[in-house]
Amino acid sequence: MLKEGMNGFCMALADSVPGVSGGTVAFIMGFYDRFIGSIHNLAFGKMREKKSAFMYLAKLGVGWLIGMAMAVVVLSTLLRVIFTLSVLCLLDSLLERFR
């Protein structure tokens, strides 16, 4: 379960970066075929295959949700800090002109 969760986590981190795909990360990490096969089995497989595919995708999804939530928190904090520093630098340069 931990492996699938970490795979989903890595996919979410990749999805949070513009221009990078979670599918590319799945391919590089070697679980793309299982990921696509599970989606296929969920749609077209027999009941036992559907159950197995659902469990795999659920574990992957939990990892993805955790990874995306963490990426949103970290990126929004970084952007807030960068914005604050930019405003402070701008104000400092404006105040320098009046000294």
Instruction: Report the percentage of the chain scoring pLDDT > 70.
Output: 100
Residue 99 has pLDDT above 80, yes or no: no
Name the residue type at position 76: S
CA distance 20 to 15: 6
Work out the mean pLDDT of the chain and round it to a whole number.
94
Helix (H, G, I), strand (E, B) or coil at 13: helix
Residue 6 has pLDDT above 90, yes or no: yes
- Tell me if the pTM is above 0.95: no
pLDDT for the residue 5: 95
Q: Are 10 and 25 in contact (CB under 8 A)?
A: yes
The pLDDT confidence band at residue 53, using thresholds 50, 70 and 90, is very high
